Amino acid sequence: MTSPSRSRDRSAPAKRAGFAAPQWDYPRLENAEPIEVIRWVVRTIERLAVATSFQSSGLVILHQIKTLEPGIPVLFLDTGFHFDATLEFRDHIAKQWGLNIVNLRGEHGSPGRQAELYGRDLYRRDPNTCCAINKVEPLQKELEGYDGWISGLRRDQSPLRAHTPIVEAQLLPSNNEILKIHPLANWTKDDVNGYLAEHAIPTHPLLEQGYASVGCQPCTAPLDPHERNERAGRWLGFDKTECGIHSFGKSGGARETEAEQ
């Protein structure tokens, strides 16, 4: 599914070979406000999507983009292992804001079928494989239909995300290259919370129960309120802080833990 057609800014290159050094218009985006980055994105990238798990940063992006680009595909990785609260919150926001939700699932189709193919509790035995088949591969397949996608990553979320660029190239397994845009890279948690409060935007209900970053239920735990690394509650007991959707196909190589920096 792709977004409605619109006029592309023809001064921007349509294709980029390999990992070419970012040039056209990127430097001025580095210090731009998120809304300016999003305006640039919807004007420049013809086939565009947003990927979100309906956490606070994603809500800021959805709120800003929904008036600029109504109907843009909102990609949601429906792993089958989400908290019920996440799915209910997704449906509530989607209805309230009229979002075009595209639910993505792995080829196996369901947790039950996953257990048949890979054995029970794969997320406990091999979380990297579980993330790969439920998140990375479905997203990679879907992104073949787009020229770029927007993510809510911020530099202050974890040490591994500290150098997140505003715009970067990402290579798909097919060798097609797309752009990945992080409008909130320069923002802090306080910036996000201030925006949500200013616009009376509801937040994920599990935040009130001590969760700083909400992923799949078996792999997410609440945090001590003084913990600065928002990703510290993910995959406890494993040397892993990323699912892989933000690390594949990057010129610097894939990384899943801060130890790999």
Q: Which sequence positions are flagged as catalytic? A: 243
Tokens, residue 229 = 């690394």
Tally of CB atoms within 10 A around 186: 18
| 93: enclosing H helix or E strand | helix 84-97
Tokens, residue 142 = 């879907």
Q: How far, in Å, CA of 111 to CA of 3, rounded?
A: 30
SS3 26: helix
Tokens, residue 158 = 């974890």
Tokens, residue 33 = 């406000």
| 74: enclosing H helix or E strand | strand 73-77
Specify the DSSP class assigned to residue 3.
Answer: P
Q: How far, in Å, CA of 210 to CA of 224, rounded?
A: 7
Q: How far, in Å, CA of 154 to CA of 101, rounded?
A: 23
Tally of CB atoms within 10 A around 27: 10
The answer to whether the CB of 255 falls within 8 A of the CB of 243 is no
